[in-house]
Structure 1
């Protein structure tokens, strides 16, 4: 494998040598060494091997007890999230997701409707009826809806 495994083993060996006093302690420090190696950023990819495998950054054990920047960012994000609850019979407008080529540019309509909520599910999926009572076949996400007040 063109030396990739050997290079990784060499780096792990360097880390474990810095963490141990003598060679007999190496087996005790191996899990901590692997955690340090997997959660350190590589200059070649600009990210950690853990995030490449799992698609998100690892939460370190110290971050559970001490509020980190990640927890503060999540708290700031969650403060701005608006809860949208729809019940059957509500009138809603649906966001225009695809702009038509002959649209009016920035003066085009952002929402269209109104529609009537037929059924609302827990995950945010909603089945709509148009004003004539015809049911839309596909459910829509609650993020694309806005309550309509006539």
Structure 2
């Protein structure tokens, strides 16, 4: 609650209530941050915080968009697009619902080889066995 998030630069409490959180221990043992505060200065600062909350939230939106772009750039830099052509041989990943239940942990994780018959969409292909038998829902 009191730690600013990396993506927003603000604490969740500040985004909801428009001011920084004051912990009970900070009230009991006076520190320089709150030791000189009076009721009048508190009202003035609270009014200023409430006036500025829309600007703070707008800045948070910009910072979140920038952070999301940086994360996407970092992720996409390691993604390598592989395009397959009709006639290529591929292996298909074995999922838990298609895995042989008696294989145990040393069971196969890939099955095939399969032949690419048709390009259905971006990264989607129709597969068949080497004997040209169509694989359903491939």
Please tell me the TM-score bracket, short chain as reference.
0.5 to 0.7
Unpaired runs of 5+ in structure 2?
A: 1-16, 19-45
Q: What is the 5 A alignment of 1:92-131? A: 92-98=90-96, 99-105=99-105, 107-131=106-130
Q: Could you say which structure has the larger radius of gyration?
A: 2
1:101–1:18 Cα change, 3 Å: same
Q: What is the 5 A alignment of 1:61-140? A: 61=62, 68-98=66-96, 99-105=99-105, 107-138=106-137, 140=138
- Pairwise CA distance, 1:71: 2.2
TM-score normalized with structure 2 length: 0.53
Unpaired runs of 5+ in structure 1?
A: 1-10, 21-28, 40-58, 141-150
TM-score normalized with structure 1 length: 0.49
Residue correspondences, number: 93
Secondary structure of 2:77 counterpart:
helix
Q: What is the 5 A alignment of 1:3-82? A: 18-19=50-51, 32=54, 36=57, 60-61=61-62, 68-82=66-80
CA distance in 1, matches of 2:128, 2:100: 23
CA distance in 1, matches of 2:78, 2:47: 42
- Pairwise CA distance, 1:125: 1.4
